[in-house]
Amino acid sequence: MVPSTFLYRGHAAVIGGSLRRPVSKPINGAAASVLTHAGGFHSSRVQNYDLDNIVKFTLGTTEVSGSRAADGSYACYVSAVVENLNVYNQVTADRIAGHLSSRLEKDGAEMEILSFGTMFTNLRIGGVPVEPQLAHELFGRLKTHGAFLDAWHNTEHSDHAALRSAVRKWYHSPEDERAEEAAGAPILPQRMTRDGMVRASLFNGFTSEPGHVKRTGFEITLPNFGTIILAELFIGKDTRRLNMLRLKMGSPVEGDMDVAGLDLNGSLYP
């Protein structure tokens, strides 16, 4: 019998994307780290980043690692941290940290992936402090794709109500959240899924809803700037992808940008 080999896969980048206005240029994946199929460890860092005075931060770091534990399980970890971020004086933060860690038992059961340690520190949008709440406890329980789907579809599941509440915060405005709950609307529009991949978010509302922006789920629209997407999380079979901050900028700066982007999965072969 051919022994199984675990193929590690993970990557992390501090920033990436492209600008179209006022200058047209790619935003290269600064301080990127990639995990090889054999595992191991890699880290990268960049200091005093300045992209045409549009995007600046003092420090960005990434780490990826993968190894086999003494009990035969496989563990992976990816992280990206950005300090003193300033995007055109409209989106700023003292610190943004994204973390994903995984574990796969040696028997090949479904991979568990957690996001503990992920956080925003002193995030400001349009100069106004905002405090995103992150659903770490919920996703700590729903740490596999199977557990997530079970809670999603099974109305008797202990986390079904909490997941319904989270889903409303992903996709609706604060007003529509209340209306959807009152109407007992379906838990998730099918248009949000493809091939078993679910577009979700760690975002679980603001401590205090800001009045100067329009929020539709985890997408925040700031006038004369664009759309800010918080803690976007894609959940698939044995994989999770996390973008801590995704910006779709419209005016006067136009472009698309990810800040603290992570991807983590892996598989046994054969």
Which pLDDT score is estimated for 136?
95
Which pLDDT score is estimated for 113?
97
Could you tell me which residue, 141 or 186, shows the higher pLDDT?
A: 141
- Distance, in Å, from the CA atom of 132 to the CA atom of 162, rounded to the nearest integer, reads 17
Compute the mean pLDDT over every residue in the chain, rounded to the nearest whole number.
Answer: 90
The answer to whether 237 touches 261, Cβ cutoff 8 Å, is: no
Q: How many domains does the chain have?
A: 1
Domain housing 92: 5-269
- For the segment 108-129, what is each residue's pLDDT rounded down to a tens digit? 689 999 999 999 999 999 999 9
- For the segment 190-211, what is each residue's pLDDT rounded down to a tens digit? 445 667 788 889 999 899 999 9
Question: DSSP assignment, residue 190?
Answer: G
Q: CA nearest 244: which of 210, 211, 218?
A: 218
Q: Which helix (H) or strand (E) holds 27?
A: strand 25-30
DSSP code string of 212-246: SSEEETTEEEETTTEEEEEEEEEEETTEEEEEEEE
What contacts 91, CB < 8 A, 6 or more positions away?
85, 123, 124, 125, 222, 225, 228, 245, 247
What contacts 239, CB < 8 A, 6 or more positions away?
113, 263, 264, 265
Could you tell me which residue, 49 or 200, shows the higher pLDDT?
A: 49
- Distance, in Å, from the CA atom of 98 to the CA atom of 261, rounded to the nearest integer, reads 8
Helix/strand/coil for 70? coil
Which pLDDT score is estimated for 192?
54
The answer to whether 82 touches 15, Cβ cutoff 8 Å, is: yes
